Structure 1
Amino acid sequence: MRTFLSALLTLVAMVAIVVALPSMWAAERVVDADGFADVAAPLAHDPQVQAFIADEITEQVSSRVNVPGASTLIEPFAKRYTQGQDFPADFADLVRQQHSWLFDPAPAGGSQEMQLDITAMVNRALKSANLPFVTSVPGKIEVPMAEGSGLDAGRYHKVGQQITTIGYIATAVAVIAGLLALLVARRRGTVLIALGL
């Protein structure tokens, strides 16, 4: 009877471990905002991402100042900013905005289109440029994401909660079942090997 119970508990612990590992990884690296930002951090050094954001900064400033050829003047400074040391932290903030949009509860009656606030990026690029006709842009600069992209507000809120809950429950079941299997077992070494310890 002890052998059967130990085997059953070991099997339960093994299944729980198989469920817990990917669930906890997803909870820590996708559902958690800081983990999500850490996973996305290498994109800040991607030349295509840098070029895209530099173009967006240039376009946003050019559309807000009445200076002929402003985009030509601003573009090199925007590119230098996206390749500089301040950009990764600002990019992480942008990623956190996206994460909040997708994983936080949807705002009641608010816009259902994702908009990213790039005001800090624009003003930092302008500050480094030291141009006489513009030093900062007043107000918020929000850039809408593409419509129809499936990036609805709060789209992954419930899923994120479920993944986190499954991860914690599976971890608890794995620990409890593993300890009980060790307590009941006649051959504890076999149980440890089966659990991968």
Structure 2
Amino acid sequence: MRTFISAIAVVVGVLLSALAVPAIWLDRNVVQADGFVALAAPLGRDAEFQQRLATAAVGTIDAGAIPDALAGLVTPVLEAAAGSLTALPGYPAAWEETLRKSHRLSFAAPESAPAAPDSPSSLTLDVAPLVALATEELAHTTGLPLTAPEQTLVNVGEPEQRQMVERASAYAPLGYSLAIGAGIAFALALVSARRRWTVVLAVGLGALALAGLWAAGSQFARDAVVGTASGNGLSDMFKNAFVAAASSSFQFWVGAAAITGAVLVTAAVVIRIASPGRRAPTR
């Protein structure tokens, strides 16, 4: 009976771990703002993405305050601003603030999200900090009184992807409870086992199996997302680069699980060799 309980506990622990680890990674690296910014920040250093994003940001500047007589002179200045935006000293901070504002917009709790009829139904970047940077530079260059908007949205996704974000926001926080449940199951397995080295071996083999499963699942998800094109060049660039960064980050966790599994298997073998069992009683 003890062996049966121990085996069931190991299986339950492995199954809970299979769900807990991806959920915790998702919470720390995507749902939480600091993790999202750290994961997406390198996108701002991609030259082609920078240029497209700067062009999109500058293109939203309201030129209504510019007199018609000067409109022809300001157009080249706008084009130059799009080309030089990423070279401005304030660009890194503006890009980070763009990511934070976009994260708040995408991962806002339903009860705190604005109920406006024109609220975004797809994934968006709020490039207002970049627009403010460009507007300030343009105003300084031309001397014209230009005001930057508080919010400037650039679509980088589809409504279906927005739904995926909402599901991820609901699923990710459960990872910590699942991890606690897995820990309790493994502890129960150790307490119930007649030969504890077998539990260590089973958990190690389970960790190795999960590492392979997570690696395959991560690759499948990456290929599925990258294989869909929206027709929006900026959207596809952001999506592909972010998915690649996320996949690389998760692979580190997969590698850690594989190493942990290998260590546990080795420890189980050493324990078994060091304690061969009871000797037969002498007559």
Identity level (%): 29
Q: Give the total of aligned pairs.
A: 195
Take 1:102 and 1:121, find their aligned partners in 2: how far apart are those partners? 18
Partner of 1:108 in structure 2?
A: 115
Larger Rg: 2
1:121 pairs with one of 102, 124, 130 = 130
| CA deviation after TM superposition for structure 1 residue 155, in Å | 7.3
Partner of 1:150 in structure 2?
A: 159
Moved more, 51-60 or 143-152: 143-152
Take 1:191 and 1:29, find their aligned partners in 2: how far apart are those partners? 32
| CA deviation after TM superposition for structure 1 residue 55, in Å | 1.4
1:151-170 alignment runs, 5 A limit? 156-157=165-166, 159-165=168-174, 167-170=175-178
1:180 and 2:188 equivalent? yes
Q: Which has the higher helix share?
A: 2
| CA deviation after TM superposition for structure 1 residue 85, in Å | 5.0
1:95 pairs with one of 96, 99, 115 = 99
| CA deviation after TM superposition for structure 1 residue 43, in Å | 1.0
Take 1:62 and 1:187, find their aligned partners in 2: how far apart are those partners? 73
1:1-197 alignment runs, 5 A limit? 1-61=1-61, 63-64=63-64, 65-66=66-67, 67=70, 68-104=72-108, 105=110, 106-113=113-120, 117-127=126-136, 130-134=140-144, 137-140=146-149, 142-146=151-155, 149-150=158-159, 156-157=165-166, 159-165=168-174, 167-196=175-204, 197=264
| CA deviation after TM superposition for structure 1 residue 142, in Å | 3.5
SS of the equivalent of 2:20 reads helix
Q: Return closer, same or farther for 1:54/1:69 CA change in 2, 3 Å cut-off.
A: farther
Supply the AA of the counterpart residue of 2:92: P
Question: Unaligned stretches of 5+ in structure 2?
Answer: 205-263, 265-283
SS of the equivalent of 1:69 reads helix
SS of the equivalent of 2:152 reads strand
Question: Unaligned stretches of 5+ in structure 1?
Answer: none
Q: Return closer, same or farther for 1:50/1:138 CA change in 2, 3 Å cut-off.
A: same
Q: Return closer, same or farther for 1:127/1:31 CA change in 2, 3 Å cut-off.
A: same
Which runs of 4 or more aligned residues in structure 1 lie more than 6 Å from their structure 2 counterparts after TM superposition?
151-155
Normalising by structure 1, what TM-score?
0.80
Take 1:150 and 1:27, find their aligned partners in 2: how far apart are those partners? 21
Take 1:38 and 1:147, find their aligned partners in 2: how far apart are those partners? 19
RMSD over aligned Cα, in angstroms?
Answer: 3.0
Q: Is the 8 A contact 1:61 1:71 kept in 2?
A: no
String of CA shifts for 1:1-58, please: whole Å, max 9, x gaps. 2222111111111111111111111121222222222221121011222112221343
